[in-house]
Amino acid sequence: MDCAIEAIADVGLHRASLAEIARRAGITKQAIFYHFATRDALIHEVLAVVTKQGAEFMAARSRQEHTPADELRAYIEANVEYIGSHRERVKALVAIAMNFTDEDGRSRLLPLDASVYGDSLAPLQDILQRGQEQGQFVEFNTRTMAMSIRAAIDAIGPQLNAIGDLDLDGYARDLVELFDRATARVRA
């Protein structure tokens, strides 16, 4: 599994052939078939493992915060930290999510897609809505705001690959400040 993740992150999904994965693992291609019926099953397993690890990390990081604004800050910081400390896993996840399609180009992750978005976008939107209801946040479209926050977080991955000198802590601080300004009812 580790070598599969590494291979996908390194050379992309469609170049991460069974032979390539086996080579990295120091085993033969046929040994993989003993444990996985097809290549698809392997990929699905990688996806399951990576998403599960991510969920566990986030669960461990989500301490109880007192206000929606604090929750939003914690959400951004935890996500940025996770991406920074699990670059390979995140890269593999993105590679699979973007390229695991059938002949018609449709995603093969539709059931999972919902859960992936559900696990990341829904709780975020929930934080925003509670913040508005409690009067801490100004009025805005919670869906657009949630999408923008996630997009800003997910943009880290490609940037990490493109430019090596990205200051993650600084980036997280900037994001927290940015979206605090965008959501806050009154200027701090």
Q: Counting contacts by CB under 8 A, is residue 165 touching its own copies?
A: no
Using alpha carbons, select from 46, 173, 156 the residue that is nearest to residue 99.
46
Q: Which is nearer to DNA, 13 or 149 (CB)?
A: 13
Residue 52 binding: pick among its own copies, DNA, none (C-beta 5-8 Å cut-off by kind)? none
According to the binding rule CB under 7 A, does residue 101 interact with DNA?
no
Q: For residue 48, what are the contacts with CB-CB under 8 A and spacing of at least 6?
A: none
**Do the beta carbons of residue 125 and residue 143 sit within 8 Å?**
yes
Draw the binding track, 93-132, toward its own copies (x: CB under 8 A; -: no contact): -----xx-x-xxx-------x---x---------------
Q: Is 31 in the site for DNA (CB under 7 A)?
A: yes
**What does the block give as tokens for 17?**
């052939």
Binding segment for DNA (CB under 7 A), chosen from 37-45, 47-55, 108-116, 149-157, is: 37-45
